[in-house]
Amino acid sequence: MLFSSRLRYFALLPLALSLLSCSKTPGTSVEDARAFLLSTEAELLKLQIADNRANWVHETYINDDTDNLSAAADERVIARVTELVKEAARFDKTTLPPDLRRKILLLKLSLSMPAPADPKLREELTQVAAGLSGSYGKGKYCPVPSDANAKCLGVEAVGERMAKSRDPKELAELWEGWHKVAVPMRDRYSRFVELSNAGATELGFKDTGVLWRSGYDMDPDAFSTELDRLWGQVEPLYKELHAYTRTRLTAKYGAAATRQDGMIPAHLLGNIWAQEWGNIYDLVAPASAPATYDLSKILASRKADAKQITGYGESFFKSLGFEPLPPAFWQRSMITRPADRDVVCHASAWDLDFDTDVRLKMCIQGTGEDFTVVHHELGHLFYDLAYRKQPFLFRGAANDGFHEAIGDTIALSITPEYLKTIGLIQQVPPPAADIPILLRRALDKVAFLPFGLLIDQWRWQVFSGKVKPADYNTAWWALRAKYQGVAPPSDRGPEAFDPGAKYHIPGNTPYARYFLAAIYQFQFYRAMCREAGYTGPLNRCSFFGSEAAGKKFKAMLELGQSKPWPEALKQMTGEDKADAGAMVEYFAPLLQWLKEQNKGATPGWTVASGK
């Protein structure tokens, strides 16, 4: 049969070559563009599905073979998209209907990892990228053994210990131990930047950072200005939270937490990257506040397993009028850590076929944090399912910040009222408990904001060439000092590569989306609360069970990327401009309380000259 097929192929080859030699130069009319995009979308759908499957296997079964399979699949997509982008250039001067012009723009912006046209360089880029991601997934911190039972720790185990330990020496050892994982990545990352920039330049962008910033329906420089504007709205709230946390940590740790510059040592904040501080709530909780609840303990007492915790998230979306998750979701997702192989446990949502094969990849351990993360990740999947009937190039979020915000909007509705409704608590805490609940949430939501902003600030400087490889680490800590007011537990020389200890750097995942999501989610949440008819304090609202709110929510999700994001925002909120004021409104009671607690203290910190 194989031989017969080969004969038929060669018999037809002369005819194919004859037809090719008679073909005309591709046209540039509107109908030509429409035909080109129709063919492109069909081809890219097939390529992307194959790429998704290879990457799914790579992240859920890490070894040298899956590294290579993932890299090869990535290369095929990158190579073909690069070719198609160049083909699409023939329509640059054609007056096209808005939908076709938008599709061509989105095609051009679709690669977060643009690659050079040279096949050898393209292959090198994908191999380097797969290797960086694999290095992170396989990374282990191996303590100097004090006995024969000492074990090496992956990122989850390190994170769990840092969340619970209150020994500053142990915390510093864990922090430094994990950050050593990234040291071997630095030279490879530098090469990755060179190759990615070469690809971006060939596509007409100054560098990869400019390409990323071009995906927000505005000029790249205007996008940077927009981020600064939003940060300016919330910076006063962050500084009050920082000052309060610093005071309480100093009371706990004394000299280990005290710095003359007013910054907080990063290892004392309960998180490997000091990006969220909720794990140290017990150290900063108001002394006289009424008791609330510990969701982790409640879930543990109920012996809630990974499937049950995932089911809570699904039920929330169903209460808004969404259809249940497809049966294949439950069969194909990875929601616990396998015991027999290395995997990337970093939680992520996967839309493998741009239709109904949606999956969750996460190592659920049954904590309250997992409960929230599940709601977030399922938000991605319900968004995917909502826009799956759009043309392929419109099957995406209005912008990537929208995708991240959807699930977090739902998670904001994890209020005491919601938990009582679903039977996880028996009694709603009184209004006097609002401050501890808001403080606990601010330690994650507000504390995250500067970290969410600085990741790409650093990367854009690297891509632009402003920061050279020898200065990677110095620039990283300069930005962390500027925006976060945190400092490393020890001097970090240029040989370190601390950015690589954060998944999104070796994983090449743009990060501005997370900062935007932190802002958008409160704006979405406020709109949904209004649609549900809620009129009380914003922080007490839960729209669980409101099909009216769900209907408006779904209408925005179904647009996908077919309209500029301000239009999608207006569909949901009635506003066409991002507004961090909703977040400030949500935390207003806490801000007033923090100012009272900080009387006599000076919010802020000193950044050393030249950094």
Query: Distances from the Cα of 159 to the Cαs of 89, 237, 297, 349, 503, in angstroms?
Result: 47, 27, 18, 21, 13
Yes or no: say if 521 and 408 are a contact pair by the CB < 8 Å rule: yes
Yes or no: say if 71 and 130 are a contact pair by the CB < 8 Å rule: yes
**In DSSP terms, which residues pair with 359 in a beta bridge?**
350
Cβ count near 293 (within 10 Å): 19
Which residue, 17, 4, 45, 13, is CA-closest to 391? 45
Q: How many residues does the chain have?
A: 611
480: Cβ contacts below 8 Å, ≥ 6 apart: 266, 451, 454, 486, 487
Q: CA-to-CA distance for 89 and 78, rounded, in angstroms?
A: 17
Pairing of strands 264-265, 486-487: parallel
Q: CA-to-CA distance for 525 and 514, rounded, in angstroms?
A: 16
SS3 sequence of 471-536: HHHHHHHHHHHHHHCEECCCCCCCCCCHHHHCCCCCCCCCCHHHHHHHHHHHHHHHHHHHHCCCCC
Pairing of strands 348-351, 264-265: unpaired
Pairing of strands 348-351, 358-361: antiparallel
Burial class (CB in 10 A: 0-12, 13-18, 19+), 70: buried
Is 242 annotated as catalytic? no
Query: Distances from the Cα of 406 to the Cαs of 127, 247, 312, 384, 465, in angstroms?
Result: 33, 34, 16, 11, 34
Is 87 annotated as catalytic? no
The H-or-E segment that residue 351 falls in is strand 348-351
Q: Which of 377, 403, 404, 531 is catalytic?
A: 377
Q: Which of 417, 504, 547, 575 is catalytic?
A: 504
Label residue 389 left, alpha or beta by phi (over 0 means left) and psi (-120 to 50 means alpha): alpha
DSSP code for 458 = H
Which residue, 520, 487, 276, 568, is CA-closest to 412? 520
Yes or no: say if 520 and 405 are a contact pair by the CB < 8 Å rule: yes
546: Cβ contacts below 8 Å, ≥ 6 apart: 319, 320, 528, 531, 532, 533
Yes or no: say if 491 and 177 are a contact pair by the CB < 8 Å rule: no
Active-site residue set: 377, 504
